[in-house]
Structure 1
Amino acid sequence: MKSIKPFGSGFAALIVLASIGAASYAGDTIAAASAPSVASSASAPVATRKENRALRKLVYAEFAKDKSIDAGDIGVGVKSGAVTLTGTVIDAAQIEKVGALAKGVPGVVSVTNKLAIRRNFAQ
Structure 2
Amino acid sequence: MKTMNGLKAALGVAIAAASLSAWPQDGASAGASAGAAVSASGGMTAKGARQADRALRHKVYASLAKHKEIDAGNISITAKGGAVTINGTVPDASQIDTVAEVAKGVVGVTSVTNKLTLQRPLGQ
Q: Give the TM-score taking structure 1 as reference length.
A: 0.67
**Residue in 1 that maps onto 2:119:** 118
Amino acid at match of 2:57: R
Identical-pair percentage: 49
**Residue in 2 that maps onto 1:30:** 26
**Residue in 2 that maps onto 1:69:** 70
Question: Where do 5+ consecutive residues of structure 2 fail to align?
Answer: 1-24, 39-44
**Residue in 1 that maps onto 2:11:** none
Question: Where do 5+ consecutive residues of structure 1 fail to align?
Answer: 1-28
Deviation at 1:110, TM superposition (A): 0.4
RMSD of aligned residue pairs (Cα, Å): 2.7
**Residue in 2 that maps onto 1:87:** 88
1:77 and 1:33 mapped to 2: Cα distance?
A: 35
Instruction: State yes or no: 1:55 paired with 2:51.
Output: no
Deviation at 1:41, TM superposition (A): 5.4
Larger radius of gyration: 2
Q: Give the TM-score taking structure 2 as reference length.
A: 0.66
Instruction: State yes or no: 1:101 paired with 2:102.
Output: yes
2:100 and 2:107 mapped to 1: Cα distance?
A: 14
1:64 and 1:30 mapped to 2: Cα distance?
A: 51
SS at match of 1:72: coil
SS at match of 2:79: strand
